[in-house]
Amino acid sequence: MEKNREIIIMVDDDITNLTVARNNLAGTYKVLTAPSGEKLFVLLEKISPALILLDIEMPEMDGYKVLEILKKNEETAPIPVIFLTSKIDPESEVKGLGMGAVDYITKPFSRDLLIQRIDLHILLERQKKELLKHNQSLETEIDKKARTVIELQNAILKTVSELVESRDNVTGGHIERTQHYLSLLVEFLIEHDVYTDELETWDLDMFIMSSQLHDVGKISIRDDILMKPGKLSPEEFEEMKKHASHGVDIIRRVARHTSESEFLRYAEILAGSHHEKWDGTGYPLGLKGTGIPLQGRLMALVDVFDALTNERPYKEAFTHEMSVKIIKEESGAHFDPKIVEIFLEHESDFTSEKISERKINVNYNYEKQEPAMHMFANLANTRNDMICDSSVRIRLYLETFIDYLLHNNKYKQDVSSWDKEIFLLSAQLHDIGKLAVADNILNKVGKLSDEDYENIRSHANFGVQVVEQLKGSFDDDNVLLHAESMVGSHHEKWDGSGYPQGLKGTQIPLQGRIMSIVDVYYALTTDRPHRAKKSHEEAIQVIIDGKGTSFDPNLVDVFLECAKGFEERKN
């Protein structure tokens, strides 16, 4: 039994006091004694007690000095110390407690009182340790969740950037490769002390991550031009060149709607200057030499190098050697000579094989990238009006809906098990498949033909493919559970007449049934190319009319309870 008792060390230079204390406490604790501070520290090298009883008046090293040393040591500082002393003046007690003692008991002492005070402080210390352990565990969980959110956000940014580049190809890899090349190039510039004065002023993490947006303006380019397999005509090339200016406009519009601008500031510079040329013959502004921002000069080289070494609709892939040769020949014409010089010195590192072994280590910042997330979510729904606020409004509606569902007995158990932040972030992907829908259909004014409608319907299946692509970025497939459920099922209908699978009733995932109501409400209360928006009351009536046919009747009841919140958040 004794081995399970708490260990207490009693420190006193009086052997009688040590004997009395040990006899009084021996039945309750495992008591060790030390006749001096020096002997205490010898014991502490081998033993970690639950508490120390410490006399003040001792020769050579008094109790105050012992306590001072204990508190300076990281390992002994947490051990609670009770002064057990014959000094009864208030000044001594105040001094002891001020130095960190947890209690002050004067001799002679009551056995029962001493035991109660010791029990109390051991209990408090145990609770403090348990709370610290719990907080550390909680912090670990929070950190894990934050990393998951950030990883999901970045995976979405990368994948959707690829879709902007090529409407129906989610495996192009251009965005990821250019990020790696850009990161390498910056590292080598710093290593060779080239442009370091300017590079040291940058947030390099934000710069590398923002490079995903360098071609965002291509979302405004017609499919027949963007995907043309042959050489562009002069007129088509002029249209293609506009993507740089379109990209700047898109990013500026988004920036006006957020207080966070650093991420988008880099993105705007990259979008607007990566097609400028050193000799001034580039576009859109015809900038020349160092008049071109350094960000754009770096992006120009890696963008062209990746285009050369990979197949495009209009060309076969060039060999690494041929691509390097072209970069070298364009030094001083297309590219900054200093940057080319560094690239050539390390060109063997710029291969697909080498970068596949690399991992870009950056300190992600959710708040700084969040505006880009909203922008990408909006891109899926519209190609022309880039200030569409779909992702923001849909998120607000979903938050309102979820808060009400958490108080609804029918759905509380399901919804309370969800990670709300992951759910809301995943919701931004619900219409991501629309990036593969031709712009002439997506923006058609007037009624869609049967063929057009089938094309629109295909976005649900394509969205599922995008989510499958995203899964490769995570060890845990559950991170994308909400996204997968919403993307593939938010156009299913309660009566089974929806698409893409014709699911019915509770066969439709709850995430999809929730999103279908929110999505329809948003669509009805927003201007569309083929019709004007409806009022809040008209939208509610449409959803009521769809109760039991289009929508889960129980969810419609919950929606009606919180519909006022939808109207408030709409404005």
One domain, residues 190 and 97 = no
* Length of the chain counted residue by residue: 571
Q: Is residue 81 in a domain?
A: yes
Residue 278 vs residue 459, higher pLDDT: 278
Q: How far apart are CA 70 and CA 211, in angstroms?
A: 54
One domain, residues 352 and 403 = no
Output the pLDDT for position 1: 43
One domain, residues 175 and 322 = yes
One domain, residues 341 and 384 = no
Lowest mean pLDDT among 330-344, 354-368, 425-439: 354-368
DSSP assignment of 294-320, as one string? Answer: HHHHHHHHHHHHHHHHS-BTTBPPPPH
One domain, residues 312 and 434 = no
CATH number of the domain to which 104 belongs? 3.40.50.2300
Residue 341 vs residue 482, higher pLDDT: 341
**pLDDT class of 440 with cuts at 50, 70, 90:** low
How many separate domains does the chain show?
3
DSSP code, position 299 = H
One domain, residues 213 and 267 = yes
Residue 373 vs residue 360, higher pLDDT: 360
Q: Is residue 386 in a domain?
A: yes
**pLDDT class of 330 with cuts at 50, 70, 90:** very high
- Using DSSP, state whether 402 is helix, strand or coil: helix
One domain, residues 236 and 349 = yes
Q: Is residue 21 in a domain?
A: yes
Q: Is residue 187 in a domain?
A: yes
Q: How far apart are CA 20 and CA 352, in angstroms?
A: 78
Taking only the tens place, the pLDDT of each residue in 258-296 is: 655 677 889 899 999 999 999 999 999 999 999 999 999
Q: Is residue 192 in a domain?
A: yes
One domain, residues 318 and 388 = no
Output the pLDDT for position 552: 96
**pLDDT class of 368 with cuts at 50, 70, 90:** very low
One domain, residues 451 and 548 = yes
CATH number of the domain to which 565 belongs? 1.10.3210.10
One domain, residues 347 and 271 = yes
Taking only the tens place, the pLDDT of each residue in 33-45 is: 999 999 999 999 9
Percent of the chain with pLDDT over 70: 81
Q: Which domain does 384 fall in, by range? A: 380-570
pLDDT over 70 at 443, yes or no: no
Output the pLDDT for position 387: 38
pTM for the model stands at 0.58
* Cβ contact 53:6 at 8 Å: no
> End of a domain among 295, 322, 356?
356
Q: Is residue 375 in a domain?
A: no
**pLDDT class of 484 with cuts at 50, 70, 90:** confident
Cα separations in angstroms, 355 against 176, 321, 352, 443, 507: 10, 17, 5, 39, 43
Instruction: Share the mean pLDDT of the chain.
Output: 83
Q: Which two tokens stand for residue 482?
A: 């909400």
Q: Is residue 415 in a domain?
A: yes
Taking only the tens place, the pLDDT of each residue in 552-567 is: 999 999 999 998 888 7
Output the pLDDT for position 321: 96
Strands 81-85 and 30-34: unpaired
Residue 255 vs residue 80, higher pLDDT: 80
One domain, residues 418 and 327 = no
> End of a domain among 356, 372, 388?
356
Output the pLDDT for position 474: 62
- Using DSSP, state whether 492 is helix, strand or coil: coil
pLDDT over 60 at 381, yes or no: no
- The predicted model gives 46-56 an average pLDDT of 93
One domain, residues 419 and 349 = no
Taking only the tens place, the pLDDT of each residue in 122-148 is: 888 888 888 877 766 665 655 555 555
pLDDT over 90 at 424, yes or no: no
Q: Is residue 59 in a domain?
A: yes
* Cβ contact 255:371 at 8 Å: yes
* Cβ contact 207:295 at 8 Å: yes
Output the pLDDT for position 385: 46
Taking only the tens place, the pLDDT of each residue in 145-178 is: 555 555 555 555 655 655 565 554 444 578 888 9
In sequence order, the 6+-apart residues with CB closer than 8 A to the CB of 545 are: none
Q: Which two tokens stand for residue 448?
A: 């869609």
